[in-house]
Amino acid sequence: MAKVKKKSAPSIEMVRRYLDAHRDRWLQDPNITSIGIGYKKYGETNEPSNDLCIQFTVKKKGDPGLLQAEGIATHPITPECTLEDGSAVPTDILEREYKPSWQIIERFDRAFVPEDVPDYLIRRKRNDVLSPGISVSNYRESAGTLGTVVYDNDTGDPMILSNWHVLQGDDGEIGDAILQPGPYDGGRMAQDQVGSLVRSHVGRDGDCAVCTIEDREYDETILGMDLHAEQVADPELGDKVWKSGRTTGVTHGIISRVDVVTKLYYGINTGIREIYSFEVEPDPDYPADRGEISMGGDSGSLWMAKTEDEERGIAIGLHFAGETNPSPAAEHAVACYIRKVLDKLNVSLIDPLEETFTEEELILSLATEVDKLRDDVMALEEYAFENMKQGIQTPAVGKGECSCGSFPNAVAGEAIVEPEGVKVYGNWCGPGHSGGTPVDAVDRVCMKHDRCYSKKGYLNCDCDRELVRGMAKAVLSRGVSAAGRIAGTAAATYFSAAPCVSYTRIAGKYIPVGGGTSRVHVGDIVNGGRSAYRFVKRKGRKLVKKIRNLF
């Protein structure tokens, strides 16, 4: 008897194509709340399997005829669907409804914040330094979560990313004031406005919005997770993820459905909208408090991929909804695809003006910039003799003090005195000089270095090495002036030659550069003086090798 060849299981790509072709027809059924791709569950206890399926969630599960008799308009869902190659994929039906995560479970009175503030109260109070995971909202709404800081693709301006229903809502409009903390957490218009609503969207590309950042500093490090979003990835079934939210803090999950379109009601003015999304279920290895991986107020949280190296910062989705069933056994969270969100809002996780290069592009650009930087330094020195404001300050280095011209963050710390009238670079580059919005990519690297010192300790080696890596790209970024390139080169030179070393130990001395084969006077470096162009001219080739090693 001939053996019958068993058909292989359909691929997720094939199921995805079928779903794209038929999803809209199914979504017209008022009983269906979402459609996506997951693993089929069996039996009354919904035991999981490894069988790929098209998964439907419905308001009420049952025989279509009986449901119609109860006044629930619905249509039968076949046990399986036939794909384009003739293979079959099973269907699955789960009883589940969703709501946007804006229903706040308890009001926060910030008048009673103890001195030793626990994490959940930090999330709900005013923060002078913004960070992902804290309370934020339109002044008309309650409170949601600041997802992350993003950057306008055209201007490079930093912005707050959260949900449409957090930053705008059913009654909001572009230009509305955004408060941090949100009104439900005590946010007040006069004291707590953090920005204004700029762009928003609620539809297939996501439930998302961005607002400006005004008169507040920010740190991209996600509260409670010690990483910030730098990369983007699409979700896959079984991926482990985690998020940091205003209400439930840091929680962990596993992606259980992808390519989902979820139907949600957003209010009288907005009605029902369909959001392209993925679904997250609790991770049993990291049980959440009360079994809840998300609750009201967590809207806008960023779901991040869990990797062996948890500092990589891979963003996957923007949390916007949860199921309505209060039982922990039914717990699920729903998130928009972060890639679609960023594209729709025309923003990026990293400053687009901090350009990224292929190795070949970087080497070619660096070769051009070496010559340009040398010419700029020489021109600026000539301007200095004419007493122009942007001239390089005359080096005057003594033990324990220096006259820091355009030298940035390198020697900030004890015993460094900034003489009256000496210009420092930007809002963050220079000794004792920090605060405000960075003026360009170089200034932003200085800010991150300051923040790193505050977090990890003065003269922390990791902070210094990160500055060197960051400056290698920052000095080549669009929008950086000649003075900025000099400042950045001076900082990178100093920390490359003397990382983790207090300036007071080497003031007035010569230190090795370029692997120790040459020496340069510390005073020349920190003042951004002649050594800046001598260094790049003489050590350009070695700098190329250093940058190449970063890739």
Contact 145, 135 (CB under 8 A): yes
Higher pLDDT among residues 329 and 399, named by residue: 329
Q: Residue 166 corresponds to which tokens in the numbers above?
A: 């957090």
Indicate the pairing of strand 272-282 with strand 47-58. unpaired
pLDDT (tens digit per residue) in 105-141: 455 555 544 444 467 788 989 998 899 999 999 998 8
Cα dihedral sign for 503, 507, 513, 515?
A: negative
Q: For 535-549, how does the pLDDT look when each residue is reduced to its tens digit (9 = 90+)?
A: 333 344 444 444 445
> Which of 3.30.460.80, 3.40.50.11540, 2.40.10.10, 2.130.10.10 is the CATH number of 231-347?
2.40.10.10
Class of domain 110-218: mainly beta
Least confident of 44-48, 190-194, 209-213: 44-48
Whole-angstrom distance, CA of residue 407 vs CA of residue 524: 10
Query: Fold identical between 110-218 and 231-347?
Result: yes
Nearest to 179 by CA among 195, 158, 160: 195
Q: In whole angstroms, what is the distance from residue 333 CA to residue 63 CA?
A: 27
Q: Where are the domains of the chain?
A: 12-94, 110-218, 231-347, 359-548
- Give the three-state DSSP class for 248: coil
Beta-carbon contacts of 459 under 8 Å, excluding residues fewer than 6 positions away, are 413, 453, 500, 501, 502
Could you report the per-residue pLDDT of 400-426, keeping only the tens digit for each?
Answer: 333 333 333 333 332 233 333 334 677
Q: How far apart are CA 359 and CA 130, in angstroms?
A: 34
Q: What's the rounded Cα separation, in Å, for the pair 158 and 222?
A: 16
Q: How far apart are CA 485 and CA 196, in angstroms?
A: 32
pTM of the model: 0.66
Rounded Cα–Cα distance for residues 202 and 265 (Å): 11
Backbone angles phi, psi at 483, to 5 degrees: -60, -35
Instruction: Decide if 183 contacts 143 (C-beta within 8 A).
Output: yes
Tell me how far the alpha carbon of residue 63 is from its chain's centroid: 45
380 against 86, higher pLDDT? 86
- pLDDT confidence of residue 363: 52
pLDDT in tens, 227-246: 889 889 999 999 999 999 99
Which residue has better confidence, 96 or 44?
A: 96
More reliable by pLDDT, 320 or 507: 320
Condensed to tens digits (0 to 9), the pLDDT of residues 431-479 reads: 666 777 788 888 888 888 888 877 887 777 778 778 877 887 777 776 7
